[in-house]
Structure 1
């Protein structure tokens, strides 16, 4: 079930809990999963789920942009839709996909924490209001104290709640949380007894419209902390650098097209909206709360800025505090995070998440 008047399919389950669920239906074209990591080859599968900032990928496949760049580099790339976000990350983690669209937190807590060496090669956007805390009958966020909060536990929603509480001098222990799936959260919050919830768009917009509801805090207040990425298995990328080059070319040609303020740009965004199950107007509204890095230069600047270390420190500290690094982890340093410039956050002997700007740098230099 999707929410909004026209069955908007926006952010699906940006959840970091690696639960063992049955495989969801995958669109035709998935050939049975990724091949052996580290082998030199030509065919690759990338998983995606519906979210405004990720819709350029399937659009590029439909429009022939994927084939154009794949042909240039002698590869074949299939973008595979997975109907549930967390399942797409689980399939990548299991080696069924060579790459996946994912948030920075989930890249850390699912594949990286599970021992899968993963490289983030495209920084697409950050949530700039797409995630939020909604309260009923409240003057402000401080009124959340003592309330029961509905959310997808141990997800970016849980992280957003912790960050929001810290701005009003509260802690997670000051509220009670109830784990609620993204499919059920709108209905749960519609119950008169429910007075607090955390979610993402499009559910967030729908819930904020309910009687006496107020958007008390959103990701616009913690800019560049919830990052949306394309990640690739590091061994696969190292053996097949042309995959990274093709993906960077695909992304920036498509982003350039969708940002055009002419008929071609409008047509591209309208096609993305149809793929997301919504209207062009609703899709454009979601884009307004999605800070797209519109050029490779902008993305490289963001990824190489000192603020990335601070962001990932907050994310890893929260993740460790919730036990998301596994029982064997004794500190937040357990999982190493490779930052641009050769710096490492955490254990340098166990780097499992790498922020690799090299392909975006090639796009910025015009050398793809």
Structure 2
């Protein structure tokens, strides 16, 4: 297992992390993700650690807190050897203030997560989504207080826009508060929006990317292609209904190339899609989730794959999409003809 620095924190995380969203199976969304019980969850955690994974991610809303409880129990004997990341901020109850990042709720949410995780501290606390109702000055001061109290070691964000993330960093710079060292983002071969702004921001601000849903909300699992559409009774329908839309022909073109490379390498489509992400700039860790041990074992093998430069370029080319304004250089008349990937050229050695 390879280890990368998480931003400029000095903290080293495994290039593959484990996302515990499949634990518990409570609620419409999370039951579609997975329904692992404690025994199976503990077995998967043990397999992850045997493979060298040291980064484990969850959230207070996953299965109404059951994911945190199960993860904490599975890691109890290994607490000093792992990095636990959890997220807060999405509504967790009917009480009017049980949402967002007011100082009142933020401290409460962290204390509740600590109890469920059965730990004295959270290694990386991430804000699950932005909150436009809480002043960034108050938010960053509250986060800084949590770090000074010892309840949190590092802070990060998730699903922020570029300006929201930079605003927070600027406030911390001004007042001497702790800064974000991680940003958890959706990024996949069929979802490359992260590259237009957030990747450049992360590079500039030394923020490590934590990738969620690396298989495009289940679309890159290899279970269907242009000749074998997704069956009507497939569980993937339950997941994909919450996913951002993807043009069908574009999806199949990407899957076509993945199938070709699968035949060339002997590795599965998910393994190839995961491995492509491991090569991307600013990515510190890619979260793999699994419903069972078999699926986990397959995903873990993605770190062993070595794609050739030609194979990587073919994946870059087929998945590239023309960037939106203002990220394309509209003054360059030749751009559309030579465009392959803006990011590939920007970060080329």
- TM exceeding 0.5: no
Q: TM-score, normalised by structure 1?
A: 0.27
- More helix as a share of residues: 2
